[in-house]
Structure 1
Amino acid sequence: MFLGLSGSLALAFAFHALAFYPDPQATGFGDWQQIHHNWEVALAAWRQHGEWALWNPHHCGGITHLGNPESQHFSPFFLLSFPLGTTLAIKLMLVAHAWAGMVGAFLFARRGLGLTRAGACVAAGGFALNGFFAWQMAGGHFTFVPFYLAPWLLLTWRAAYRELRWAVATAALLALTLLEGGTYPFPYFVLLLAFDAALVAARDVRRTRSARPLARVTATGLTIFGLTATLGAIRILPVVRTLRLFPRTIESTDSMLPHELIEVWTTWDFPWRHPDHIYVWNEYTAFVGWPLLVVALFGLGACLLRRRWEPALGLLFFAALMMGNHGPFAPWELIHRLPVYDSLRVPSRFSVLATFYLALLAGAGLDAAAAWLHERRLLSRVGALPRQVLAALAVAVLVLPGTIFGVVIHDHWDLPAVHGAPAGRFHLDTSPAYQTELASLPRRGVGTTQCYVGAMSWRVAPGLWRGDRPQVRVPDGGRLLAAHRTNHGVFATVDLPERARVIFNQNFHPDWEVVGDTGSVVDDAGRLAVALPEGRHRLEVRYESATLWYARILTLLGLLVAFLLWRGALPSR
């Protein structure tokens, strides 16, 4: 067991090694700058001001960091940023998740489908090394990294179905997905669990000829739901408040044709702009190569002959969702009408779960091929041991996706390291190289009004000013005596001849509050302002989400309930 775990960890490092070489501090292109920026915001808040990041003054003229669905500073891996810096912490988090994906897929293939070790290795490699992870991670969609946890989610859910205390592990994985900014993984995981629960319930109802499995599935699901809601409250409540203020509802018209599924799994290079779709081409690849696909087709036939329906149905279900918009009753269109799911786009991203089941079929195909050869005594004729042949076949199937994976990961870690020293005072500026400098803005102590945020509808106040000048404005006749800011606090000493507004150079948000009894926060054409009476005032204004207090209490309650359930102090059924 130890050798297997250490060997798989070494493989995970090997396939990602080129992300560390030749410059371990090199940053990634594309959306990596935005993801990296969010990590640097949190690190700068702590190092420069001793505060846990609640606000992001460095982007879009100032936006919530606590309520940003894609912020990842609640992830346990963020703690590595303090001794190692954000770049190495991010890369180690990527390797750790890839390793977890390999091990989890291996265990699920062994325990869920009863595959041999060689077959399970093919399933593990086909899942963890497929092109979805290669191109999404290379392009900076790091909030997709929890997708690696999908096999563990199924393992713990099935364990919870047998013994309820394992619901703690399932809920912990879902909560971790929220902490890691899993805007897509979390709702996808809910569908994955619902799908597998339906399979398990149908299997056991048919086997027992009773409705008890339905009650058991329902009780397990409700327990997982309650634990996830409380454990994840520290993220759920602030994010829900953000989405109410800045709705993220998205129209989704993209679709695929059935023959394009073959391209998804067998083509590893397109023009950057896909000729037939509205998104860039790497949204339409989960490359595994022809060898693995052929073995998977063999496995599909073997599973159907043996009435082992689960991997075939999983592939069919998630491939149908990949197809996208094909009319009002298409699977994608049906779920896209639901809350949360109406904020998602790019249905081809379901390829990550479809490929998981494809990889399981490939593992089953390898086992079926080995059994066929063994039955006909072809192995003994060539004088090869079955284990050696299985290992050779597994390597042959995985060498192509593994090679492409390593090349893609290496090719996109080529931007400069995070750099710069804090400016004399915080100010908004327009970075001359926004797409390559965004990650460095927090360390340099400056912000920007530029606002590339994917699908979020942040509103940037039109009256914000740029340049290294005072970040607080008082009306004519008034005096600004002092001003500074921290991550989620702004401070000013002003002298006003009459009642007036003091304007801060950042966006307004209703959760900013004046500390003390003097003045009230107002919205000045999208800018944060405070209405004050005449006289001299020492002004302190702080941001704290209106939901944060409740979120803390609920998360602590969830931890207590999870501990008691795991230790057996609560009734299991």
Structure 2
Amino acid sequence: MKTSTHGLLRAAHRAASLTGVRLALFGALALAACWHSLSQAGGLNDFRDSHLLDSYEDASTRSVTDYGQLPLWNPWSCGGQYSMGSPQTRSFAPTLVLSSLVGARRAEPLLLWTFLVLGMEGFFRYARRRVGSALGALGGAPLFGLISFTALSWSIGWLNFAGFLLLPWLLHGTSLATRGKLSGAAMVGGVFALLLGFGGTYPVPMYALFVALETGRSLSTLRGTTQRRRALGSLALTAGFTLAACAFRLWPLVETMRSAPRIMAGTPGKPLGLLVEMLLQLPARNGYSDPGNFYFAPVALVLVLPALAFARRRAAFPAVVAVLSAWMAAGYTVTPSLFAGLRQLPIFGAFRYPERFLIPTAFFLAELAALGLAVLLARSWRAPARWTWAAVAACAVTLASWGLHVRAFDNLTRWAQMIPMPVEKEQPFAQARGNRWSQGHLLALNRGSIACFEAWPVPMSPRLRGDLGQEEYLEDPGSGTARRVEWTPNRLTIDVDTTRPTVLLVNQNWHPGWKSAQGEVISRDGLLGVQVPAGKQQVVLSFRPRSGLGGMGVSALAWVALGFLAWRERRGQPLPTPAALGVTAVPLVTWGLLLALWPEPVALPHLRNANGTPLTVAQLPPEAHPVNARFELPVELVASEIPVEPDAEGIASLVLYWRVTGPLPRSVGIFVHVVSAEGLRLGADHEVVGGTWFFSEAPRDTLLRDAFSVSTRGMPPGEWKVLVGLWHSGGDQSRVAPRTAEVPLLPDGRVPVGAFTVPRKVPTNESSVNP
């Protein structure tokens, strides 16, 4: 019995080592997991986020297939936006080829299946070296590759988060790069470039942390100064190549974020009990709830125990990193908060969902499970029969865990709200008022939406209109005529006949990438315009962004440089490390030269409140009520504007005027309590002034207008006082005491800034009109 069992295990081990057999298994598991998704191919996901994010891919596909253009500019969203600079678009990933061939909606479930296979195969390649067993690595691969968050992401239109499954390829590539392999540099640079092109706003910065940890882990295994010096040189080459390979997307993103910074405040977090449910509870087949969103089969945790018991040295790293990841996932609900410290770093300040760190938590738990299985298999081949049965039991647990992961994945794919695709209507492009929750329908009508909903403040002109009879028109209607000749996403041709100089306006947002040989391209309150002289002429507007075109050139040059190094190595003539570093530096030097020699106007940030009012003011408006409250920290609450009563929709628009006079910690935020005479309280706390600055980053000695609103729907009628103060929202949550003010101060650090009255609702059977 023991001999036959060992024979089966050895056969399974040999099969796990065969790439074809392994990929066939992973393909079958992925097929079972996303069978429901594949059966829905070609439908329109009616979930609100899907309408926005999926329409980006539809727009990119349309640019390629209908107009034969690269998807540089997207006129169908938010009044026109830079596709390459929009963080959540996946317009410049290789996946666009499949979308263009079969259609964006049909491509999505195929891409989902592909990413599942990639995730499992990547984990196998990473774990095989770490656990020392092909069968152990195979056992752990579906535990990560079929993580249910990927299914949830597909169901609600976040397919770009499938990029989370590429973590093992990054770590495996880092390990190879540490050993001086050019394939490691290609793998790390290629995966990061793919993630950026695929809209990986979270995976890229998150996984950069784990690449750094893997770098330290790999370096610690090297012995001797020579080995480590070579490894550092190889890692420097990898870093330079990765930066240049990502330039095609990184440059546009940096440009966009500088002109429209994305600020995320608040103190997000999940209690430990809920995190455990999210990780270990099997998700239901319907509804939207947190439990099960990051499912890891609880029975698989049994495999972690032998790893911790019998392979402590190899288990130490994944165990520690799994704990750190879970600590990060808790956000601000634990003290001290590791996530709060992370948000102090550049880029990471835009993170708002710490629970996504449960993905690397599951990854390292899967590594521990693979290690535990490998340990039991190794003991069964050289120990008494009881270890053989333990290994058989571990294999059974592994198979059961696979089944649970397939079921959890299938359950979450059924959350998708699929409806038939809308019928497309061929008609000239025009902007429409739109609806941010039904953008997929607008695209089918060849209509742009100026009702924008994004996770970053898209620069939009207040002069955009959805009711124009003609999208291209003259600012001075009496100066002549303008007639559209040709319209494509990246190129517009308009015949203009004017009797005097004027401005040709296009009903799209301005961007510095728009160019015209017939006149100067200008911004008219953010609207795209061209100054044209008198006379007949044909104005041709082309979108040629420096960051996009230049970035693509830099990235192409990076791959050429790496290919040259690989060619030399294959010929047996590898370049010495300093020369190799010089070759990979060429694309970066080219990047610098492009910045210096290719001038382009700067898109300045639009510093406005959510209601469109300027963020800074020269002086207080007459309607502002002086407060002049000074706090223990160098910040003043100068004045406030509180309405007499809410508007017809029940919205009370409030304005606070602040002035910062010295350095402040980033933890300082604003609390706003709206309190009734009966003691009922409504909160409107916020950390960011005007949705743009933390106090620590705000300009000094400048009057800041902080406009926000509260909804009074459902609030009892009567007077509601507005009490304001400062607190350390990102720290110990203590309040900052006010020192002096022109209004009476309350003992709990609150400053009364005014009051409004919620009126009594008039019953529908009462008439306010005299007969």
Counterparts in 2 of 1:530 and 1:44: CA distance versus 1, 3 Å: same
Q: Following the alignment from structure 1 to structure 2, what is the Cα–Cα distance between the partners of residues 70 and 225?
A: 24
Q: Does 1:321 align with 2:328?
A: yes
Q: Following the alignment from structure 2 to structure 1, what is the Cα–Cα distance between the partners of residues 227 and 275?
A: 35
Match of 1:242 among 231, 250, 256: 256
How big is each residue's C-alpha offset from its partner over 1:64-106, in whole Å with a ceiling of 9 and x where there is no partner? 1122222222222211223311122222222111101111112
What are the residue-to-residue correspondences of 1:516-531 with 2, within 5 Å?
Answer: 516=518, 519-531=519-531
Q: Following the alignment from structure 2 to structure 1, what is the Cα–Cα distance between the partners of residues 41 and 576?
A: 48
Q: Any conservation in 2 of the 1:428–1:449 contact (CA below 8 Å)?
A: yes
Q: Does 1:146 align with 2:163?
A: yes
Aligned to 2:433: 430
Q: Following the alignment from structure 1 to structure 2, what is the Cα–Cα distance between the partners of residues 38 and 369?
A: 49
Counterparts in 2 of 1:51 and 1:443: CA distance versus 1, 3 Å: farther
Q: Secondary structure at the match of 1:324?
A: coil
Aligned to 2:151: 134
Deviation at 1:340, TM superposition (A): 2.1
Q: Any conservation in 1 of the 2:171–2:214 contact (CA below 8 Å)?
A: yes
Deviation at 1:111, TM superposition (A): 1.8
Q: Following the alignment from structure 1 to structure 2, what is the Cα–Cα distance between the partners of residues 211 and 323?
A: 40
Aligned to 1:342: 349
Deviation at 1:109, TM superposition (A): 2.2
Q: Following the alignment from structure 2 to structure 1, what is the Cα–Cα distance between the partners of residues 286 and 411?
A: 17
Match of 1:101 among 110, 119, 140: 119
Counterpart of 2:547 in structure 1: which amino acid? T
Mind listing any 5+ residue stretches in structure 2 that lack a counterpart?
1-17, 578-771
Q: Does 1:192 align with 2:196?
A: no
Aligned to 1:285: 293
Q: Following the alignment from structure 1 to structure 2, what is the Cα–Cα distance between the partners of residues 496 and 223?
A: 57
Match of 1:76 among 94, 104, 120: 94
Deviation at 1:34, TM superposition (A): 2.5
Q: Secondary structure at the match of 1:31?
A: helix
Structure with more of its chain in helix, by fraction: 1
Aligned to 1:277: none
Counterparts in 2 of 1:566 and 1:328: CA distance versus 1, 3 Å: farther
Counterpart of 2:327 in structure 1: which amino acid? A
Q: Secondary structure at the match of 2:505?
A: strand
| TM-score normalised by structure 1 residue count | 0.88
Q: Secondary structure at the match of 2:339?
A: helix
Counterpart of 2:65 in structure 1: which amino acid? R
Q: Following the alignment from structure 1 to structure 2, what is the Cα–Cα distance between the partners of residues 81 and 447?
A: 21
Deviation at 1:443, TM superposition (A): 4.2
How big is each residue's C-alpha offset from its partner over 1:19-47, in whole Å with a ceiling of 9 and x where there is no partner? 121x4211333433333211111221123
What are the residue-to-residue correspondences of 1:117-516 with 2, within 5 Å?
Answer: 117=135, 119-166=136-183, 167-204=185-222, 208=223, 210-212=224-226, 214-269=228-283, 281-282=289-290, 285-297=293-305, 299-304=307-312, 306=313, 308-325=315-332, 330-368=337-375, 377-378=385-386, 389-412=393-416, 414-417=418-421, 419-423=423-427, 425-431=428-434, 434-435=436-437, 437-453=438-454, 455-467=455-467, 469-474=469-474, 475-483=476-484, 484-516=486-518
Q: Secondary structure at the match of 2:167?
A: helix
Counterpart of 1:248 in structure 2: which amino acid? R
Counterparts in 2 of 1:284 and 1:248: CA distance versus 1, 3 Å: farther
Q: Any conservation in 2 of the 1:40–1:440 contact (CA below 8 Å)?
A: no
Q: Following the alignment from structure 2 to structure 1, what is the Cα–Cα distance between the partners of residues 75 and 256?
A: 16
Counterparts in 2 of 1:523 and 1:283: CA distance versus 1, 3 Å: farther
How big is each residue's C-alpha offset from its partner over 1:262-289, in whole Å with a ceiling of 9 and x where there is no partner? 222123459999xxxxxx8449831113
Aligned to 2:540: 540
Aligned to 1:276: none
Q: Following the alignment from structure 2 to structure 1, what is the Cα–Cα distance between the partners of residues 472 and 170?
A: 49
Q: Secondary structure at the match of 1:333?
A: helix
Q: Any conservation in 2 of the 1:504–1:529 contact (CA below 8 Å)?
A: yes
Deviation at 1:200, TM superposition (A): 2.1
Q: Secondary structure at the match of 2:126?
A: helix
Counterparts in 2 of 1:217 and 1:252: CA distance versus 1, 3 Å: farther
Counterparts in 2 of 1:216 and 1:261: CA distance versus 1, 3 Å: farther
Q: Identity of counterpart residues, as a percentage?
A: 24
Considering Cα pairs closer than 8 Å and 6+ residues apart, tell me whether 1 or 2 has the greater RCO: 1
Counterpart of 1:18 in structure 2: which amino acid? H
Q: Following the alignment from structure 1 to structure 2, what is the Cα–Cα distance between the partners of residues 111 and 156?
A: 12
Q: Following the alignment from structure 1 to structure 2, what is the Cα–Cα distance between the partners of residues 212 and 318?
A: 33
Number of positions where the alignment pairs a residue of Structure 1 with one of Structure 2: 550
Larger mean Cα displacement after TM superposition, 236-245 or 441-450 = 441-450
Q: Secondary structure at the match of 1:547?
A: helix
Mind listing any 5+ residue stretches in structure 1 that lack a counterpart?
274-279
Q: Secondary structure at the match of 2:34?
A: helix
Counterpart of 1:429 in structure 2: which amino acid? A
Structural RMSD (CA): 2.8
Aligned to 1:552: 552
Q: Any conservation in 2 of the 1:479–1:495 contact (CA below 8 Å)?
A: yes
Counterpart of 1:416 in structure 2: which amino acid? P
Deviation at 1:388, TM superposition (A): 5.6
Counterparts in 2 of 1:411 and 1:163: CA distance versus 1, 3 Å: same
Q: Any conservation in 2 of the 1:472–1:480 contact (CA below 8 Å)?
A: no
Q: Any conservation in 2 of the 1:168–1:566 contact (CA below 8 Å)?
A: no
Structure with more of its chain in strand, by fraction: 2
Q: Any conservation in 2 of the 1:503–1:530 contact (CA below 8 Å)?
A: yes
Counterparts in 2 of 1:563 and 1:373: CA distance versus 1, 3 Å: closer
Q: Following the alignment from structure 1 to structure 2, what is the Cα–Cα distance between the partners of residues 564 and 422?
A: 48
Q: Secondary structure at the match of 1:151?
A: helix
Deviation at 1:300, TM superposition (A): 3.7
Q: Following the alignment from structure 1 to structure 2, what is the Cα–Cα distance between the partners of residues 308 and 212?
A: 28
Q: Following the alignment from structure 2 to structure 1, what is the Cα–Cα distance between the partners of residues 233 and 364?
A: 26
Deviation at 1:355, TM superposition (A): 0.7
Q: Following the alignment from structure 1 to structure 2, what is the Cα–Cα distance between the partners of residues 549 and 33?
A: 28
Counterparts in 2 of 1:572 and 1:393: CA distance versus 1, 3 Å: farther
Q: Any conservation in 1 of the 2:264–2:349 contact (CA below 8 Å)?
A: yes
Q: Secondary structure at the match of 1:339?
A: coil
Q: Any conservation in 2 of the 1:37–1:442 contact (CA below 8 Å)?
A: yes
Structure of higher CA gyration radius: 2
Q: Does 1:110 align with 2:124?
A: no
Deviation at 1:428, TM superposition (A): 1.3
Q: Following the alignment from structure 1 to structure 2, what is the Cα–Cα distance between the partners of residues 378 and 169?
A: 42
Deviation at 1:127, TM superposition (A): 0.4
Q: Does 1:33 align with 2:51?
A: yes
Deviation at 1:297, TM superposition (A): 4.8
Counterpart of 1:420 in structure 2: which amino acid? E
Q: Following the alignment from structure 1 to structure 2, what is the Cα–Cα distance between the partners of residues 214 and 95?
A: 39
Larger mean Cα displacement after TM superposition, 55-64 or 145-154 = 145-154
Q: Secondary structure at the match of 1:227?
A: helix
Counterpart of 1:478 in structure 2: which amino acid? S
Q: Secondary structure at the match of 1:513?
A: strand
How big is each residue's C-alpha offset from its partner over 1:527-567, in whole Å with a ceiling of 9 and x where there is no partner? 11222333333222222212234323312220111102223
Counterparts in 2 of 1:235 and 1:500: CA distance versus 1, 3 Å: same
Q: Secondary structure at the match of 2:497?
A: strand
Q: Secondary structure at the match of 2:559?
A: helix
Deviation at 1:301, TM superposition (A): 4.1
